[in-house]
Chains A and B, each alone.
Chain A
Amino acid sequence: GQSLEQPSEVTAVEGAIVQINCTYQTSGFYGLSWYQQHDGGAPTFLSYNALDGLEETGRFSSFLSRSDSYGYLLLQELQMKDSASYFCAVAYSGNTPLVFGKGTRLSVIA
């Protein structure tokens, strides 16, 4: 079946770098997406990897390795406002719904 695994919680210090991993047991998907969700908010799109390699968007980068069934989200220069839940997700075509991982709750501490 489709399965995306993420750590449930991560804590990091303000200004530091943190990596949130997503390992999966699925195949044939178009790409790996990352979403951020603050408490009480809706998921907001962060990054998407269609191809293997690193995608960089400001302080956020995302990586995909299909051969290793693995991806990660890298957050640099952490800020307190980055405290949120982060979800990896895959889609199997342009018009199919996303399948989400269980999410990682990131806590940024001073």
Chain B
Amino acid sequence: SAVISQKPSRDICQRGTSLTIQCQVDSQVTMMFWYRQQPGQSLTLIATANQGSEATYESGFVIDKFPISRPNLTFSTLTVSNMSPEDSSIYLCSVPRHAEETQYFGPGTRLLVL
């Protein structure tokens, strides 16, 4: 099984600032996914991050707001830019779990924007 870590685990930020979230996996993976979970809601996919190519964003999410880096096969970052209180969420990275067609999730980053 993959072990995924995220930094920071939580943060409180002021509106208008940016936060970069790191996701580290203990094995090489081609694809990594970034999700957002707003309070009391389900998980919504932000983007798919492939190593060596631009991230693919879902409808409603744009690169200027959520730039993603994928410098190698074990690491990715998601930046939440120019934050507003509406960005207060849990941000989760995940990787495919190949034994079944499902995914492992990181522990999440809990963001509160004031």
Contact = CB atoms under 8 A, between A and B. Distances in A.
The answer to whether A and B come from one shared complex is: yes
A42 B108 contact: yes
B102 A102 contact: no
B100 A95 contact: no
Contact of B102 (A40, A89, A101): A89
A48 B102 contact: yes
A42 B98 CA distance: 19
Interface in A91-110: 91, 93-95, 97-103
Given A31-B100, A97-B48, A42 B42 contact: no
B42 A50 contact: no
Main DSSP-derived SS at the A contact region: loop
Interface in B29-82: 30-31, 33, 35, 41-45, 48
Interface of B: 30-31, 33, 35, 41-45, 48, 90, 92, 94, 96-98, 100-108, 110
27 contacts: A31-B102, A33-B101, A33-B102, A41-B108, A42-B105, A42-B106, A43-B92, A44-B105, A45-B102, A48-B102, A50-B100, A87-B43, A89-B102, A94-B98, A94-B101, A95-B31, A97-B35, A97-B45, A97-B48, A97-B103, A98-B33, A98-B94, A98-B102, A99-B45, A100-B42, A100-B44, A102-B42
Interface of A: 30-31, 33, 35, 40-45, 48, 50, 87, 89, 91, 93-95, 97-103
